[in-house]
Structure 1
């Protein structure tokens, strides 16, 4: 009897080791010499993993991660009909800038569809979209979405870039959860269309859907975002990463690489 009990206890101990929560893993090495935050929500297990909890609660400009709600709003209002809806580039209204000879800006000086605009993060397309939606409707939607501080500056075509609208990493994840579950007050078509255009990687083992964002938040300080969700067989992981750097070049690749390294280290993304 005692032998059987001892064996049972040993078995439970081993199982406990094998099922140790992922949050026990130290994520600080991934942020060496980098000020940043990471939050992940495991849908199946209903638990969160965070690095730098205080910063996870701190709000920053969403930059181009706002293209997710902006796309939903454009589709739900009928300003955009579908993923292939084209807006012609107006050279006089949106003249080329000095950095448009670099990626991803090199793709901006042309007509774009919703699909290509989110792929290349085309700011002028989304500025035009916001102008067509209008401030009153835009305010109604971001309030209904409970999106960050729900603030629109006087410029309807710039509020997600000029540091008036702000959102935390925690809030990014909560928004993504509502979006994925179809609980936002938009049409099913709008939700499914945005899900489709957000896909970055689709393999037999997983599907990664996400959006980058980045830009200046103060003199000599840039924020880099990477937010989205990872679908695997039987589970979904929602995540948001933000990091700071002295230039856009410093954070451009790092925000994505760091996020994917963490997802792989946690065992959610194949290495």
Structure 2
């Protein structure tokens, strides 16, 4: 048994992207909620970053702000967040928003919802600390409460939220769940799993309020289905040095590359 645990620990370490450390790997049974694998610190809250697009999608569809996968189409305007490059400077619909993780599209939804509705939805979803205060004194809650700011969630809370989503236990219209599940990207593995999920990346704040760009968090959360089995997972990594590109995408790529092997170790 000791040998098996040692091998599993070594394998989990190999799942992290190069130059990143793993904070948490968590896998549960989608139906029962039984934790099948918990490695690392899965109980401490950090920023959800772009994984917040999943609950925000539910809110947007439930409130009628979003219509379907391809409507509304919103134009990019000068002054919108554009640090995501060319993919963020084009007209965007809900499917494209989720695919390219377009921050300004999120900001249009949060602006339409307003703080009162955002807080109510997050509380009803039991989503982390449900805190939409934003950065102290900056009045920026609708622009970035979920990005290195006041809203925080732990990996274990992410998994609980996702279980409630796929088991349709969240207090939103059925169509809101249908459309959200439709626009979340999924990919098939060589061993027959279909893995769906969302990435997220953000920098921690330093004491002076600036970003620590050498320590980006990288999230990948979602669920994996094969046959009659569905597993829900959360993976949280953190860079050990400054790197190019999204820590969330690196986390996703490393996780998917090793998912089939990891799944074989899960009871």
- Normalised to the residue count of structure 1, the TM-score between the two structures is 0.81
The Cα shift of 1:265 comes to 1.9
Runs of 4+ that moved beyond 4 A: 21-24
SS in 2 for 1:57: coil
Structure 1 residue 211 and structure 2 residue 207: aligned? no
Offset, 1:42:
2.3
Aligned-residue RMSD, C-alpha: 2.6
Instruction: Give the alignment partner of residue 67 of structure 1, picking from 26, 33, 53.
Output: 53
How does 1:76-95 map onto structure 2 within 5 Å?
76-94=62-80
Contact 2:26 2:35 in 1 (8 A): no
1:170 correspondence with 2:150? no
- Which protein has the larger Cα radius of gyration, Structure 1 or Structure 2? 1
Q: Which secondary structure does the structure 2 equivalent of 1:179 belong to?
A: helix
Asked if the contact 1:28/1:51 (under 8 Å) is kept, the reply is no
Tell me how far 1:75 sits from its aligned partner: 0.3
Give me the whole-angstrom Cα distance separating, in 1, the residues matched to 2:244 and 2:130: 29
- 2:252 aligned with 1:256, yes or no? yes
Structure 1: which 5+ residue stretches go unaligned?
Answer: 1-16, 101-105
Mapped to 2, the partners of 1:181 and 1:24 lie a distance apart of 33
Q: CA deviation digits over 1:232-267, x for unaligned, max 9?
A: 100101000111113353724430133224422223
- 2:15 is aligned, of 27, 30, 52, to 30
**Count of aligned residue pairs for this structure pair:** 242
Q: Which residue of 2 aligns with 1:247?
A: 242
Q: Secondary structure at the match of 1:156?
A: helix
* 1:196-251 Cα distance to aligned partner (Å, 9 max, x none): 11132157933211000002113232100000000110010100011111335372
Change (3 A) 1:117 1:95: closer
1:117-145 CA-to-partner distances (Å, cap 9, x unmatched) read 10011111011111011111111000000
Distance in 2 (alpha carbons) for counterparts of 1:227 and 1:180: 13
1:8 counterpart residue number: none
CA distance change for structure 1 residues 198 and 95 in 2, over 3 Å: closer, same or farther? closer
Contact preservation (8 Å) 1:139, 1:150: yes
Greater mean deviation of Cα atoms: 79-88 or 177-186? 79-88
Work out the CA distance in 2 between the residues paired with 1:191 and 1:89. Answer: 25
Taking the aligned partners of 2:200 and 2:81, their CA distance within structure 1 comes to: 21
Any stretches of 5+ residues in structure 2 without a counterpart? 134-138, 206-211
CA distance in 1, matches of 2:116, 2:77: 27
Provide the C-alpha distance between the structure 2 equivalents of 1:92 and 1:212, rounded to a whole number of angstroms: 26
**How far apart in 1 are the matches of 2:254 and 2:155?**
15
**Paired residue for 2:39?**
51
1:173/1:240 contact within 8 Å kept: yes
Q: Does 1:131 align with 2:111?
A: yes
